[in-house]
Amino acid sequence: MIVRPRPRSWQLLYIMRGSIVPAIAPKVAVIFLLGLIVSLLCAHLPLHAIDRLGVAPFTLLGLRRCRSS
């Protein structure tokens, strides 16, 4: 029987064998990049046509309107 030392709590974050992290990391990265692109576009492009849509389409999608400064 091989007895290995028990990992500390911070070491558990870095154990990849048997972890779900490799399976979901690409999906999380894609969603992060998509959100980053949308927020940068919202901050730098004047999107006046969005104001005419109302709130219903955005609530169905779970999005908020961009705040113009």
Q: What is the pLDDT of residue 11?
A: 75
Q: What is the pLDDT of residue 62?
A: 67
How far is it, in rounded angstroms, from Cα 5 to Cα 51?
59
Which residue range forms the structural domain that includes residue 46?
11-61
2, part of any domain: no
3, part of any domain: no
pTM: 0.52
23, part of any domain: yes
**Residue 62 — left, alpha, or beta (φ > 0 → left; ψ -120 to 50 → alpha)?**
left
Q: What is the pLDDT of residue 32?
A: 93
6, part of any domain: no
Burial (CB count within 10 angstroms: exposed 0-12, middle 13-18, buried 19+), residue 40: exposed
